[in-house]
Amino acid sequence: MPILTLKFDNVHKSFVSQGQRRSILNGVSLSLAAGETMALTGESGSGKSTLLHLAAGLDQGDGGNISVCGQNITGLSETGLAELRKNKIAVVFQQFNLIPSLTAWQNIGFHARLAGRFDQEWSDALCEVLGLDDLRNHTPDQLSGGQQQRVAIARAMAVRPALLLADEPTGSLDETSGHKVLDLLLNLVSQEQTALLLVTHSTAIAERLARRVHLSHGQLT
């Protein structure tokens, strides 16, 4: 059986706030193979971002196991996690998280250079596909929301991640731009056989992904 890109086995996560422990994920299991795309929906506050953060190794669960590319990340050291994040995982956030002082081109290469995997030809190709050629020297404040989002996608794909985690990547765009950005993203992940887990509030966006899961009361349906 091929190694899964992302696997959650009976994962639990709770938070304590105002002295009370609240269970957010209550036995979540999922598996995602290379090239698969999965939409994660759920009401506001249901725990979608929490699940994404656990998958990215940015937070730890309280129980169960999570593995990325066959490597169990539960209990992995900070160094091990940092290596995995650098080499296998990329995240696209709703608010883009571009570095304001860098140009679009520098932003695109940033993660890839950190990972020691900057590939000029691939980054050029991403700029072309994502319609960023004329915007390379612009800083984020000179770009529209849709343009910034395309830079964020180029930055994520520049590392050729095995796993792409996207938290409402089209959430701040109007519907037409959102679908256009999704077209580009889906083409890229299909070409690269990237596993994509995408959080969205939009049923129309979710329906365009091959698999869909819904988070409710801490469990996936």
103 near ligand ATP, rule: CB under 6 A: no
CA 206 remoteness from chain centre: 15
Which of residues 38, 42, 67, 151 is near ligand ATP by CB under 6 A?
Answer: 42
Total binding residues toward ligand ATP, as defined by CB under 6 A: 11
The residue (of 1 and 16) whose beta carbon lies closer to ligand ATP is 16
41 near ligand ATP, rule: CB under 6 A: no
Which of residues 2, 19, 45, 116 is near ligand ATP by CB under 6 A?
Answer: 45
The residue (of 23 and 65) whose beta carbon lies closer to ligand ATP is 23
CB within 8 Å of 198: residues ≥ 6 apart: 37, 38, 39, 40, 165, 166, 169, 205, 209
The residue (of 45 and 116) whose beta carbon lies closer to ligand ATP is 45
- Stretch of 28-36, 44-52, 117-125, 143-151 lying at the interface with ligand ATP (CB under 6 A): 44-52
Q: Are 185 and 154 in contact (CB under 8 A)?
A: no
Q: Are 157 and 112 in contact (CB under 8 A)?
A: no
Query: Residue 178 Cβ, how far from ligand ATP at the closest point, in Å?
Result: 16
- Stretch of 37-45, 103-111, 150-158, 182-190 lying at the interface with ligand ATP (CB under 6 A): 37-45
24 near ligand ATP, rule: CB under 6 A: yes
48 near ligand ATP, rule: CB under 6 A: yes
From residue 220, alpha-carbon distances to 9, 180, 183 in Å are 12, 28, 26
Amino acid at 36: E
19 near ligand ATP, rule: CB under 6 A: no
Query: Residue 120 Cβ, how far from ligand ATP at the closest point, in Å?
Result: 36
70: left (phi over 0), alpha (psi -120 to 50) or beta: left
At residue 92, φ and ψ (nearest 5 deg) are -110, 120
Question: How far is residue 178's CA from residue 199's CA, in Å, rounded to a whole number?
Answer: 13
Beta strands in 33-150 (DSSP E): 37-42, 63-68, 71-72, 89-92
- Stretch of 29-37, 42-50, 72-80, 127-135 lying at the interface with ligand ATP (CB under 6 A): 42-50
Q: Which residues here bind ligand ATP, judged by CB under 6 A?
A: 15, 17, 24, 42, 44-50
